[in-house]
Amino acid sequence: MCRTAGIRCPTVLGLFSNILDSNADYVFRNEDRIVAESLCREAISLCATGTYLAATIRLNLAWILLMLSSNNGPRTLINEAVDIQRQALVDLPPSHCYDQHRHLRFLGECLYYRYEFFGRPEDLDECLDVYAQAVHLCSKMHIDRCKTVTGMLWALYAKAARSGAIDELNKAIELGLNTLKEVSAGLLDLHHQLAPSDGRYLEKSVTLNREALQQCPPNHTHYWMYVSSLARKLYLQYNWTGEISCLEESIQLGRSSIDSIPTTHPQRFIPARHLAHSLMLRFNETRRISDLDEAIKWDRRALASNGTSHVFYPDVSAQAAARSGAIDELNKAIELGLNTLKEVSGAGKGRVRCLRVVAGLLDLHHQLAPSDGRYLEKSVTLNREALQQCPPNHTHYWMYVSSLARKLYLQYNWTGEISCLEESIQLGRSSIDSIPTTHPQRFIPARHLAHSLMLRFNETRRISDLDEAIKWDRRALASNGTSHVFYPDVSAQAVSRLCMLFDARGSFEALEEAITLGNTVLDTMVSDHVERGDVILELSKALLRRGRHQGNVADIDRSISELACIKEVMLQRTEGPKLLSTLADCYIVRFRFNRSDKDANDALEIMTGLLDKLPPGRPERYQYLVSTAELHMEIGTPYRKDRQLLDIFALVVGLLPRVAFFDLHLHTRLQSLAIGQSIALTGASHALNIGLPDKALEILEQGRAVFWTHALRLRSPFDVAPKEIGDRLLILARQLEKVRDSSFTGENPGAVEAEIARRRGQIEEFNVLLNQVRKLPGLDRFLLHDEFTTLRKASERGPVVVLVSSALGCHAILLKQGGDCVSIPIERLPDTWLAHSGTEWRSIIVEARAEMRDCRKMEKSKISKSRRTAAEEILRQLWIEVVRPVIKALGLEPSEGRNRPRIWWCPTGNFAHLPIHAAGAGGEWCSDYVVSSYIPTIGSLLAARNAYSPILKDDVQALVAATPRSSISQWSDLINTREEARAIRAVLPSGAIIELPPADDACIEGGNGITTETLLKLLPQTNILHLACHGHQDLENPLQSGFILRDEKLTIERLMPVPLPRAFMAFLSACETAKGDFNQPDQVVHLAAAMFFAGFKSVIATLWSMADADGPEIARSIYQNIFSSESDHIDPDDIAYALDEAITKLRIAQPEPFRWEPYVHIGI
């Protein structure tokens, strides 16, 4: 090494560092660049400031730092490079002004690079100012002018992309066309994406790229960049024009670009990523597996060439995981992305890009791996932040809006929260508004919006949603030519939705449009197109509809023929069962035309085959069973027999417990039963229509309240089974009974997956052991539904009346004392009337609720005359057509007090939404003849009676709790609940009251009401519970219905696992505690049912809102009645009669039905 006066020479050091840096460029050895950095720093320390040499060495050092940071180096090097280059400009002597443009240009490069990574707008603004100075210093003939203008154009490109300013972009293009072709091509490409386009700018961009590539020698350092750039432009041109030749050339050039760059080059991943995108586009078009394999190969090489700290690593990881389905790679990418977000704080382009990538990774993980929803929720949060940081006029703003809309769509599918779907639809519309009408990708947010609208349509049946979805389908089809890659998929969706419009409105125009569209698409598709089967399937469904409604056998024949052609291919895909089901429907319809036994047998063979292939528990299996039952009901089939049909219904209903898979979460168990909402009622109605009320009762008991039957089944003692089997059943039941709170999101996805697998094994073992027990003598009905010989015992203490409603007819089944079973047809009140009246009654109650909520004193309620008239008419019809015929059939006369017998009502279907006990007209009321109680099922009444043990009044342990004020802000104060609790305690025997902590005791000064923790802690020792608070029935998720306590809502989901060994009576003095779920009425999921099935034998509850002022009087009257008798124990009948007497008093004081009707008794 050369020395001067014993000191290392800065000039030599600087020169040597340049050599090392250049060598690093050619052999891509980062170690050389690190040595060069060290030499530059030493050289600077030896130079005097304010010298040309110092300025030059600082420029070299700044360059080296930029290169190190771009090659997985620390991000702080970028900031240091900017600071060093600023100092270089300060050091440059005025005598070297001819070199100032070069230093300014390089400062512009540093600022641009920092903007690219951190996204600071101020860096981009300063970058443009610096470049403007540099351009001004370069004459038009200056050798460096082209390079300087190039840098400025890239900065203008970035600003236009950020702001969407078309005017600035046009100026940049004009400047670029006068300077150089390659950069102008990029600007033209950007103009194509930003502004309404006819493709002219993109075509010009491709032309300029071709010329630039022709003028670049193949051995040039950056030759690969020109090749990769042209490949990318051709990729965009294919997206615009759909010309497959553009895509083929793009792939060819992509491979050439990779071949042109050394294998150790740090940016080799860039053309590899571009090539992978092009290959995937061709794979989506042709489904050629070799393209997918090659794309994954380049993903893996890109990952291998970049360190995990590389800015593109999360994005490449996401693509690789998506294509290969490798969860391990995806987990690594997520971890890396989340760590990167911690490093890239604040606002900026780098963080926005990272937010988008990590959100996509989390979304992908949710879809690929077993999920608890945690990753999806995080994805939504990150998408929100990315959208907030993206300016509304940004080129890709619509993408961020559309992405968030899509995530919320997925979140609704997961959580069922309607607010997610509503926001998704709102954002979908905003996304479409944010993108130019001529943009070639405008169909993407339109498709997403259509999917969200269809999801809401399926929930609400709002025709306007279906109309709007079809509108966007039509626009997507109009904007894309028939050769476009997505045209078949959009067409298949459009055909499906047009068929739905026909179903909803009977619009034959929509059906004809669907068939025409389907035929058009098929004519343009090659015979082996991967999506041809999807189009044929939807077209066949349309032909099936037209053939069925117009009696056109030719349509049915064609549908059968088309489906047969794609049958083998589609059976290898997930749509296979749908195809077979459609084919079976075609055979059934053709059977109706020609009465050919072959068609009926072909349909039966298909449905039977589907049942054999699908495992128990699959919702599709259940639906196919229903279809099979309907096929047997078809008049004229060679196997239609009434008793055999009943056996099929019994088989179908018996599979409901398997449909309700023992999931980790209770709400998913309940949701899985929605598919079987009407089958038990249909089967029971069929049995009633052929005069078999006993069989109808068995079907109803087997198919209703399955959710609760599950829970009770797992709490069985199993003591009648052999000890070894019983002990194992007990262990398995306790394990299966454990559930997760639906709000819990803290589990590791791998752990969740393992637990689901373990649970499946436990279920299989549980069922195997049950079958073993049932093979033993006398245990053939072990844990099965009750047969009629057992059900008839429910009427020993009074008649039981089951009200059945279905499309096949409405009936009342009477179990008389003594066990006789008869049915009464209810011919004048069809199921449609019950459904309409239930909805109307619900509307009436909504109006009455506001009135009663504000009722603080025992004053008259004021309900509008029209509402009162409508309510009176519903009660009148119920009396005339339902209750009075039942009373007459039972031979009952009006009476008073305990001279009236008790009666147990078991309403099903749409009867569940109406107050049967309050029926009356013309001065006659149901309560004049009987004292009414309700039960969810007959079996639950029998189980409660079997579990009942007499309660001595001296042994009463009463938990009397109230919540006059909740910390949950939206709930009003209930000032009368304090008085109610005090009134009850004054009546109860001394020593019967469970002591509450002072802060939880509303009866003492300073007590604000009971908390959830206290209530759950004391419930197991309670035999009488009185709870005075707000109640809430959650219409979207019934298991989230609950009691509004001082600190939070105590939900059904949290109450279910609580053991209640001493429970006897629960008085739920709260609103809506017996209000059923309109979506699944026959699962009987409300607060009162939860308490009843949990162990309380007798429950007093409310069907809708009660007046706060009525609570103390009702409660005082009931408890005085129960505890004033001379008996030393509580007679279960006392509770029903006590409630009846209290309501009678209230009705005298408050004739308005909405004041006294809400109170009901459930249980023994």
Share of the chain above pLDDT 70, in %: 77
Residue 251: pLDDT band (50, 70, 90) is very high
CB 915 within 8 A of CB 1121: no
Q: Left if phi > 0, otherwise alpha if psi is -120 to 50, otherwise beta: which for 457? A: alpha
Beta bridge partners of 1031: 1043
Is the model more confident about 298 or about 873?
873
Residue 373: pLDDT band (50, 70, 90) is confident
Dihedrals phi, psi of 772, to nearest 5 degrees: -65, -45
Residue 26: pLDDT band (50, 70, 90) is very low
Per-residue confidence (pLDDT) for residue 899, from 0 to 100: 93
Question: Where is average pLDDT lowest: 72-76, 684-688, 1084-1088, 1123-1127?
Answer: 72-76
Residue 1072: pLDDT band (50, 70, 90) is confident
Is the model more confident about 461 or about 1085?
1085
Nearest residue to 486 (alpha-carbon basis) of 525, 432, 460, 434: 525
Per-residue confidence (pLDDT) for residue 40, from 0 to 100: 83
Q: Taking every pair of C-alpha atoms in the chain, what is the biggest distance, in angstroms?
A: 128
Query: Is 752 a residue whose pLDDT tops 60?
Result: no
Helix (H) or strand (E) holding 849: helix 831-853
pLDDT in tens, 948-963: 999 999 899 999 999 9
Per-residue confidence (pLDDT) for residue 810, from 0 to 100: 93
pLDDT in tens, 719-734: 888 988 988 888 888 7
Distance CA 788, CA 1005 (A): 55
Is the model more confident about 439 or about 886?
886
The pair of structure tokens assigned to 481 is 């030519």
Of 134-138, 402-406, 565-569, 965-969, the range with the highest mean pLDDT is 402-406
pLDDT in tens, 451-499: 999 888 876 667 888 999 999 999 888 877 777 777 888 999 999 999 9
Average pLDDT over residues 256-262: 87
Q: Which DSSP string corresponds to 646-691? A: HHHHHHHHHTHHHHS---SBHHHHHHTTGGGTTHHHHHHHHHHHTT
- 3-class secondary-structure state, position 585: helix
Q: How many helices (H) and strands (E) does the chain have?
A: 49, 19
Residue 1142: pLDDT band (50, 70, 90) is very high
CB 119 within 8 A of CB 349: yes
Nearest residue to 671 (alpha-carbon basis) of 659, 682, 683: 659
Distance CA 781, CA 785 (A): 8
- 3-class secondary-structure state, position 104: helix
Q: Which residues contact 767 (CB under 8 A, 6 or more apart)?
A: none
Query: Is 531 a residue whose pLDDT tops 60?
Result: yes
Per-residue confidence (pLDDT) for residue 583, from 0 to 100: 93
Per-residue confidence (pLDDT) for residue 850, from 0 to 100: 56
Q: What one-character DSSP code corresponds to residue 937?
A: -
Query: Is 924 a residue whose pLDDT tops 50?
Result: yes
Average pLDDT over residues 139-161: 73
Average pLDDT over residues 639-654: 61
Q: How far is CA 513 from CA 494, 507, 517, 1021, in A?
A: 10, 10, 6, 67
Distance CA 602, CA 562 (A): 16
Per-residue confidence (pLDDT) for residue 1099, from 0 to 100: 96
Distance CA 679, CA 759 (A): 28
Average pLDDT over residues 592-606: 85
CB 449 within 8 A of CB 430: no
Average pLDDT over residues 555-559: 95
Per-residue confidence (pLDDT) for residue 254, from 0 to 100: 92
Residue 401: pLDDT band (50, 70, 90) is very high
The CATH number assigned to the domain with range 798-934 reads 3.30.420
Query: Is 861 a residue whose pLDDT tops 60?
Result: no
Average pLDDT over residues 378-398: 86
Query: Is 128 a residue whose pLDDT tops 70?
Result: yes
Residue 4: pLDDT band (50, 70, 90) is very low
Q: How far is CA 1138 from CA 77, 1120, 1143, 1159, in A?
A: 83, 9, 9, 12
Question: Where is average pLDDT lowest: 171-180, 261-270, 510-519?
Answer: 171-180
How many residues can be counted in the chain? 1164
Residue 858: pLDDT band (50, 70, 90) is very low
- 3-class secondary-structure state, position 566: helix
pLDDT in tens, 490-517: 999 999 999 998 887 778 899 999 999 9
The pair of structure tokens assigned to 1102 is 């409310």
The CATH number assigned to the domain with range 941-1163 reads 3.40.50.1460
Q: Which CATH architecture has domain 217-305?
A: Alpha Horseshoe (1.25)
Beta bridge partners of 802: 813, 906
Residue 1073 amino acid letter:
T
The pair of structure tokens assigned to 535 is 């189009």
Please give the model's pTM, rounded to 2 decimal places. 0.53
> Strand (E) positions, 488-571?
none
Per-residue confidence (pLDDT) for residue 266, from 0 to 100: 67
Query: Is 1084 a residue whose pLDDT tops 80?
Result: no
Per-residue confidence (pLDDT) for residue 856, from 0 to 100: 44
pLDDT in tens, 985-1042: 999 988 899 999 999 999 987 788 999 999 999 999 999 999 999 888 887 678 888 9
CB 918 within 8 A of CB 875: yes
Q: Is residue 1148 classed exposed, middle or buried when 0-12, 13-18 and 19+ CB atoms within 10 A define those classes?
A: exposed
Dihedrals phi, psi of 1025, to nearest 5 degrees: -115, 125
CB 1129 within 8 A of CB 950: yes
Per-residue confidence (pLDDT) for residue 1061, from 0 to 100: 83
Query: Is 575 a residue whose pLDDT tops 70?
Result: yes
CB 1038 within 8 A of CB 1072: no
Nearest residue to 853 (alpha-carbon basis) of 970, 1001, 727, 686: 970
Query: Is 857 a residue whose pLDDT tops 70?
Result: no
Per-residue confidence (pLDDT) for residue 1054, from 0 to 100: 86
Q: What one-character DSSP code corresponds to residue 1038?
A: G
Nearest residue to 107 (alpha-carbon basis) of 73, 72, 62: 62
Q: How far is CA 335 from CA 55, 309, 524, 1124, in A?
A: 42, 11, 45, 68
Share of the chain above pLDDT 90, in %: 27
Distance CA 851, CA 918 (A): 20
Distance CA 652, CA 953 (A): 47
Q: Which residues contact 597 (CB under 8 A, 6 or more apart)?
A: 638
- What is the CA angle 91-94-99, rounded to 5? 80
